[in-house]
């Protein structure tokens, strides 16, 4: 499947969940990121770790919407469709819609949110209000409290977290996570055949993020 979506280091504060923080620090330094940015990210993970789920979602959503400025892939990475790891986005403090979503997804996994409750969703977003006919490819992150529940949407276009029914500007196309690509976007939809390898950019992203310490 080919998909183009337009759209000196401090010591770790804690041993943050499944992260290999030593490798994360080495990777972040190689990427040229500011030490304070990494510290802020570690602090957010530490402070959010024991919070209720809705507060975890809010903290993560606000952190990346505040720390990452929107930039086009062509300007940032020199190519039209690059999928940046969380550390790449944080090191640049810039990213496209995928950069926001991927960084939020990995942060929530580190905060013990089950992967089954998280989906990255490829959508068409209406730009310019309800009467507009202008659409652009976009990506959002959805949290499903239960398989049958309406998901909550984490986004960089509308920054407050809203249930999907209040995002009439979004037309979902398909969803995926680390387990694979789903037949639909409903919480109870099944994983399609072929695994993450069916989405080559995502499979490559997972490999690179693992090498960085995730």
In terms of residue numbers, what domain contains 184? Answer: 21-212
Q: Is 9 inside any structural domain?
A: no
In this prediction, residue 7 carries a pLDDT of 60
Edge to edge, the sheet with strand 118-126 lists 162-163, 152-154, 135-143, 118-126, 170-177, 180-182
List Cβ neighbours of 3 (8 Å cut-off, separation of 6 or more). 81, 122, 199, 201
Tokens 């959805």 -> residue: 142
Q: Give tens-digit pLDDT for 107-148.
A: 999 999 999 999 999 999 998 777 778 899 999 999 999 999
> What's 179's domain CATH number?
3.10.620.30
In this prediction, residue 184 carries a pLDDT of 83
Q: Give tens-digit pLDDT for 22-31.
A: 999 999 999 9
pTM above 0.75, yes or no: yes
Task: Give the number of domains in the chain.
Answer: 1
Q: Is 57 inside any structural domain?
A: yes
């Amino acid at each position: 499947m080919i998909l183009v979506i337009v759209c000196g280091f401090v010591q770790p504060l804690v041993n943050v969940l499944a992260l290999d923080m030593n490798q994360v620090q080495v990777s972040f330094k190689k990427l040229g990121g500011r030490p304070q940015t990494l510290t802020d990210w570690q602090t957010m993970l530490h402070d959010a770790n024991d919070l209720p789920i809705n507060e975890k979602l809010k903290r993560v959503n606000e952190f990346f919407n505040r720390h990452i400025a929107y930039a086009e892939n062509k300007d940032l990475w020199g190519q039209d469709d690059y999928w940046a790891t969380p550390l790449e986005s944080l090191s640049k403090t810039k990213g496209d819609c995928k950069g926001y979503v991927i960084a939020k997804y990995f942060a929530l996994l580190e905060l013990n949110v089950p992967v089954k409750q998280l989906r990255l969703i490829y959508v068409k977003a209406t730009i310019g209000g309800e009467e507009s006919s202008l659409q652009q490819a976009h990506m959002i992150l959805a949290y499903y409290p239960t398989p049958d529940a309406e998901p909550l949407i984490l986004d960089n276009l509308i920054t407050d977290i809203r249930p999907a029914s209040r995002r009439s500007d979004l037309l979902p196309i398909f969803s995926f996570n680390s387990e694979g690509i789903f037949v639909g976007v409903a919480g109870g939809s099944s994983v399609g055949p072929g695994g993450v390898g069916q989405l080559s950019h995502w499979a490559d992203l997972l490999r690179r993020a693992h090498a960085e310490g995730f």
